[in-house]
Amino acid sequence: MLYFIGLGLGDPKDITVKGLEIVKKAKRVYLESYTSILTVGKEKLEEFYGREVIVADREMVEQDSDSILQGGGEEDIAFLVVGDPFGATTHTDMILRAYQKNIPYKVVHNASIMNAIGCCGLQLYRFGETVSIVFWTEEWKPDSFYDKISINRNNGLHTLCLLDIKVKEQSIENLINRGKKIYEPPRFMTVACAAQQLMEIIEKKRAQAYTEDTICVGLRKVGSDDQKIIAAPLRRMATVDLGAPLHSLIICGDLHPVEKEMLEMFVEEKGCLDACTPVESTV
């Protein structure tokens, strides 16, 4: 059996009891390491599990998945994913490959940023489509997600922005040379970097889906003991230092009175929520 096991967001102990039992008996245990990360590292996982964990980087998952699936029809293989296994489309692709090879699979779910984001007080059913924001370069500044933010805002909905992670990435020069693989240092997008890029986008747009005064929520290390939350206008978010990764950003839509009351716990600028469009209270 091939098991896809969610690890949750905080530390090794966030794995479910069912997931831990599978890990302890599996023939091989892989840790997917590029769609998200556990800040504790694989050594802490190995210490808690009492067994070896094989890091599955992007190259292995996307180009050498057969090595992971090998023997999956005869023995148990555990594929560990930070958050929930279906938090990234890559894992759906892995399931399809297993299905094509007649390898049975099971999924053990866990908390992910998609539901844990509710810790800031914004109601999950009032979120629209989630978007991803990637690091820009001088030559490449994609902003296709802007239209999705616009639709969400027009419908009064919040937008969760998943921020870029660069782990074991090669530079353009190294890819062109095709010699020895040299990887860039890991980089993790901050809420400040994302907000700066969002500010630059609206300078180029005629119709603005949001402004520099639009309330946003920045979150750091959701699910950990030292998670941090701040609610502030976009212009302030572009300068805030939330500290160590991982970060997430929310662009708020219309605020329910209870949502507004919760966000008041995390504001730096008193009164900055006064201009937010209220929605009818059903509480």
Q: Known binding site: residues?
A: 9, 84, 87, 112-113, 163, 222, 247
Distance between CA atoms of residues 36 and 132, nearest Å: 13
What residues pair up with 247 in beta bridges, in sequence order?
220
Contacts (Cβ under 8 Å, ≥6 apart) of 15:
5, 6, 7, 8, 23, 110
Q: Among 156, 226, 158, 160, which residue's Cα sits nearest to residue 194?
A: 160
Residues 10 and 246 sit within 8 Å (Cβ to Cβ): no
Q: Annotated binding site for S-adenosyl-L-methionine: which residue ranges?
A: 9, 84, 87, 112-113, 163, 222, 247
3: part of which helix (H) or strand (E)? strand 2-6
Residue 61, classed as helix, strand or coil, is helix
Structure tokens at 76: 């148990």
Residues 6+ apart with CB under 8 A from 151: 128, 129
